[in-house]
Amino acid sequence: MQRRYLESFLAHFRQNRQMLLVSGPRQVGKTTIARQLGESFASGEYFNWDNQTHRGSILDGPEAVAGLLGLDRLLAEKPFCAFDELHKYRGWRDFLKGFFDVHENQAHVFVTGSARLDVFKRAGDSLMGRYFPHTLHPLSLAECLNTGDTDSLVSPPGAIDEVQWRALWRHGGFPEPFLKADDRFHARWKKLRNEQLLREDLRDLTRIQELGQVEMLAINLARHVGQLTSHAKLAREVRASVDSIRRWTAVLESLYYCFSVRPWHRNVTRGLRKEPKFYLWDWSQIEDPGARAENLVASALLKATHWWTEAGHGEFGLHFVRDKQKREVDFLVTRNQRPWFLAEVKTSGRAELSKSLPLFQSQTGASHAFQIAFDLDYIEADCFERNKPTIVPARTFLSQLV
């Protein structure tokens, strides 16, 4: 993780004047990366909104921060300035705009938040043109291998260590439980993270008062991972209005508890158009092996589409395909609004090739169609050299992403 992200972030500061705004789930490694980046520069300051002293410096205004950075004197190198969890400050947008407009070419600015910074926008002037966004995801198989190539879309395949593969499957991709690979620690970590996210963050960042109902909604979304999600059905289960369910699911997405995948219907005969499917950012919370496998692939594909888009390779999207005859393929990745590849997830490599893959490949014109099997051993072969529907090992396919 250090090699790829640090090199990419350092390249950003070498090439661009804009601030780098990095958002992602709680405990995904944002603070660690901010501190590691700081070590790469001759001077700098780290400000964490949750630290009372640091908060005071931020509240004193942009010029107070500039003074701490030494921007009132001639410096041999631009200092590094990190603002951690700044989204919790109601006036964060005005603060950043004021700092950037005055000290645009004097400091490298790195901003993090455990909520989507493009969603929690407070009143104030736009930051348009002043920043580039980046989403920090949990560890993926490719990241464990350090095979991610920022200059190309897919990487050469690589074999993951069996111990790492088991840890990724069982304990998820968040760095601390993944590295510890300890069941008891993981159980305590999951409980604490959910409490912080579903209670503290909801209370501090939103005006939602029905915290118990939102927590019940989160539990139901976890139970329905990978299934078509009806807001009306969720409303009945949680005993809330449909409008409340729509608003609450949007908030849970913005806090990185879950993410939605919506249907692709263009050129799909009688294709589904409305109902989304939901997945969790932490797939280790899902008990059912089939749902967990599907969620793990969904997370890897979302990470890849975010990275490819944010790195400037084009506009990528993640969807699924389903028609009114209930024929379905789990995922469709698009590139510049055109289907690129289909992916169906199976726990067993003994399952027959899904008939929906050639059907929807023909209708959408996707270049590739994969049936990803989790019990197959790694194969030293490039999945993306095949254009016809093909059964591929999960370890091979996932190693070629990001």
DSSP secondary structure string for all residues of 74-122:
--SSPPEEEEESGGGSTTHHHHHHHHHHHSTTT-EEEEEESS-TTTSPP
DSSP code string of 361-398: HHHH--SEEEEEETTSPP-SS-GGG--S-EEEEHHHHH
Banded model confidence at residue 201, pLDDT cuts 50, 70, 90 = confident
pLDDT, position 120: 47
Per-residue pLDDT, 123: 40
Is it the case that residue 121 has pLDDT exceeding 90? no
pLDDT value for 149: 53
CA 262/CA 332 separation, integer angstroms: 10
Distance of alpha carbon 261 from alpha carbon 271, whole angstroms: 15
Structural contact between residues 110 and 76, judged by C-beta atoms closer than 8 angstroms: no
For residue 376, give the amino acid letter. Answer: L
pLDDT over threshold 80, residue 151: no
Superfamily for 2-135?
A: P-loop containing nucleotide triphosphate hydrolases (3.40.50.300)
Sequence spans of domains, the chain: 2-135, 141-206+252-399
Average pLDDT, the chain: 93
At 150 the pLDDT is 58
| C-beta of residue 392 within 8 angstroms of C-beta of residue 370 | yes
Say what the pLDDT of residue 204 is.
Answer: 81
Please check the confidence at residue 186 and state whether its pLDDT lies above 50. yes
pLDDT at residue number 111: 96
pLDDT at 371: 98
Q: Residue 3: its pLDDT value, please? A: 56
Q: What is the pLDDT of residues 362-382, one digit of tens each?
A: 999 999 999 999 999 999 999
The Cα–Cα gap between 131 and 351 comes to: 47
Question: How confident is the model at residue 5, as a pLDDT?
Answer: 75
Assessment of whether the complete model's pTM goes beyond 0.85: yes
Residue 66's pLDDT band, with cuts at 50, 70 and 90, is very high
